[in-house]
Amino acid sequence: MIPINKPILDNEEKEAVMKVLESGVLTDPSMNGGPFVREFERELAKFVGVGEAVVVNSGTSALQVALMALNIGPGDEVIIPSFTFAATAGAVMLVGARPIFVDIDLKTYNMIPEEFKKAITEKTKAVIPVDLYGLPAEMDEIKEIAENHGIVVIEDACQSQGAKYKGKMAGGLGDIGCFSFYPGKVMTTGEGGAILTNDEKLAEKMRMIRTHGQIRGYDSTLLGGNFRMNEISAAIGIVQLKKLPKFLEIRAKNAKILLELLENSKIILPEVPEYSVHNWYLFTIRLRGQKEREGLKTKLRESGFGATVYYPSPIHKLPYYASIGYGGLSLKNSEIASQTVLSIPVHPLVKEEDLKRMAEIILSSSN
């Protein structure tokens, strides 16, 4: 089975891990972290083109720490798309705030700026646009609306590292950006995440929050937790970041091949605005209906391709969120997408013959 995504690790990562093991310093609870954490942060900030990077132990932690640093909590509202992974809403809930779900554009699968604008109330403190599947959201429109209403923009770039929007790197498009380095992402640290910002004071606060609000140790001056990234993860991240441009180059090549092979099919192919660069974390097609989608998924899986649905339910329809009052929301496009999307592998380990075989299966099923 060719999985939907797979971490690509070799001797360089093994050597980096051995350096940490031999040093005997596996983690560092100080505010600034250990030497590998500090180096990873410097390189990551440089790569994205921002002033500060704060690495943490997951993409979910990145979102939560960002919200905590902004003092968002009970009584506050945060506007997010419903068609995404549950972590975006979960981070909002974990700080005691209320997620307000809005609908997506079926061409990009990202938040509709006008829907964001309609959802704003006096309680709205932040908006979290998600760069779904690796395509940046319409950030110029979102930022303009947010600025006019005094709202902070937290870019959920957990799926879009290496993507670009109007020449700027994803993760650096909002007031704050958040990455995930989960093993299935375009690069990995095993588990991990990062927060990007140009606000030096905010970055300092986030470094305190990630280690129990401490500055020097045993001196908690604000509420925090253990959101630290360990030295092993950071060491892997340093190596992976150097390889990321090549990873992205191969993903783009594979996506181009698939787009060309499927251009005359009846399925709905991914669309990329001319001013954006997709990172092709997920190559997502859309079928006419759920039955057709499930049939194609089964055929692809039986042929050894890990076709996967991201996501089979919008967040507002998930059992927990439905149980607390969101289930009655009507977000038409999010619900259509959940019933019709299907993602197929284009990661660097996928060969051209694999792409041709997948295209054959898709064409024979859809025509």
> What crossing angle do the helices spanning 231-261 and 35-48 adopt, rounded to 10°?
30
Q: How far apart are CA 92 and CA 76, in angstroms?
A: 9
CATH number of 267's domain: 3.90.1150.10
Domain co-membership, 57 together with 166: yes
Mean per-residue pLDDT, 7-34: 97
Residue 320 has pLDDT above 70, yes or no: yes
Determine contact, residues 112/64, Cβ cutoff 8 Å.
Answer: no
Q: What is the pLDDT of residue 249?
A: 98
pLDDT bin (cut points 50, 70, 90) of residue 192 is: very high
- The string of pLDDT tens digits covering residues 137-167 is 999 999 999 999 999 999 999 999 999 999 9
Within a domain: residue 147? yes
> Which residue, of 179, 209, 240, is where some domain finishes?
240
- The string of pLDDT tens digits covering residues 246-272 is 999 999 999 999 999 999 899 999 999
Within a domain: residue 301? yes
Q: How far apart are CA 174 and CA 185, in angstroms?
A: 21
Range of 306's domain?
244-366
What is the total count of domains within the chain? 2
Mean per-residue pLDDT, 270-276: 97
Q: 77: helix, coil or strand?
A: strand
Q: What is the pLDDT of residue 162?
A: 98
Q: What is the pLDDT of residue 365?
A: 84
Peptide bond into 311 cis (omega under 30): yes
Q: How far apart are CA 120 and CA 364, in angstroms?
A: 46
- The string of pLDDT tens digits covering residues 79-131 is 999 999 999 999 999 999 999 999 999 999 999 999 999 999 999 999 999 99
Domain co-membership, 305 together with 282: yes
pLDDT bin (cut points 50, 70, 90) of residue 366 is: confident
CATH number of 103's domain: 3.40.640.10
Domain co-membership, 63 together with 81: yes
Q: In what order do the strands lie in the sheet with 193-197?
A: 52-56, 193-197, 176-180, 152-156, 124-127, 77-81, 98-102
Could you tell me where the beta strands, DSSP code E, fall in the chain?
52-56, 77-81, 98-102, 124-127, 152-156, 164-165, 168-169, 176-180, 193-197, 276-277, 283-286, 341-344
Q: What is the pLDDT of residue 49?
A: 98
CA-closest candidate to residue 44, choices 276, 252, 240, 279? 240
Q: How far apart are CA 252 and CA 162, in angstroms?
A: 11
What rounded mean pLDDT belongs to the chain?
A: 97
CA-closest candidate to residue 83, choices 49, 50, 129, 125? 129
The two beta strands, 176-180 and 193-197, are antiparallel
Q: What is the pLDDT of residue 367?
A: 65
Domain co-membership, 166 together with 312: no
How many Cβ atoms from other residues are within 10 Å of residue 330's Cβ? Answer: 8
CA-closest candidate to residue 120, choices 81, 77, 155, 152? 77
Determine contact, residues 212/224, Cβ cutoff 8 Å.
Answer: yes
Domain co-membership, 150 together with 215: yes
Sign, CA dihedral 146-97-154-275, equals: negative
The first and second tokens of residue 90, run together, are 């979960």
> Which residue, of 215, 240, 265, is where some domain finishes?
240
Q: What is the CA radius of gyration of the chain?
A: 20
Domain co-membership, 276 together with 303: yes
- The string of pLDDT tens digits covering residues 28-60 is 999 999 999 999 999 999 999 999 999 999 999
pLDDT cut 70: percent of the chain above it: 100
Domain co-membership, 281 together with 231: no
Q: Global pTM?
A: 0.97
